[in-house]
Amino acid sequence: MTHRRHAAEEPLRLKLEGATVLELITGSGKIEVVADGEPGVVTVEGMRPPRRGRYRRSVRREGKRWIVHPRPGSRSLRAHCPPGLNVTVSTRSGGISLQGPLGEVRAAAGSGRIEAAEVESLEARTRSGRIAVRDCEGRARLGVVSGRVLVERAGAVALLAVSGKVQLREIAGKVEACTVSGSVQVQAEGEDDISVITISGNVKIQLPLEVHPRVEAKQMSGKLRNDLPEGEDVRLRLRTVSGNIAIGSV
């Protein structure tokens, strides 16, 4: 048996036994994942005690994936897993907190904040709520309808946002950001191209002083300021209908 019945105060305990993905689904409630568990074991708090095989309907193994989906679906879940595990989480209403080191992470919230710290890669989207990424080694693919986006460090970023302030810091590679309304600030290492498109909002790009970018900027109204010598190190493709564009050093 890979999982067993528990008393009300005990968490659900799953043996990975070759599984590489943990998937948590809840209709309404907060989801937390913390990579501080023992090797080969995942524990999940917040599940109702089993009754007439309830766990058999709420917990299942599909290939290399453990899926935990409480029924009825309105439950807050807290999972402890081994470092490096791949994680997929989704909630219609509620925040998501992911504390690594984790592997490949996918997170979706209908309404709620998403926070991720120390992940290999990230795909996160929310209709309403903030997205905060502390450290993503690889690419962060982010989508938000209404809410602020803050990335403190990432290998690369692809972002689609409708409304909200965007701050991207310490980005090692390529940046692709498209917004409708809201300012966009990018601090990059100058190792790859940067593309920012916004309809209404200011754009600010910061690069190391020794980087000489090729600037391709278009705007219908607003000012353009470039404090860096132009060259061919990286390409900056910047578009705004209404807003200022500023390019400077870190």
Pairing state between β 136-146 and 114-128:
parallel
DSSP state of 37: P
Distance from C-alpha of 246 to C-alpha of 226, rounded to nearest angstrom = 6
Q: Quote the mean pLDDT of the chain.
A: 92
pLDDT tens for 118-173 read 999 999 999 999 999 999 999 999 999 999 999 999 999 999 999 999 999 999 99
The pLDDT-based confidence of 71 (bands split at 50, 70, 90) is: confident
Please, what is the Cα angle at 88 between 86 and 90, to 5 degrees?
A: 165
**CA-wise closest residue to 186 among 114, 247, 95:** 247
DSSP state of 236: E
Q: Which helix (H) or strand (E) holds 56?
A: helix 54-58
**Confidence (pTM):** 0.90
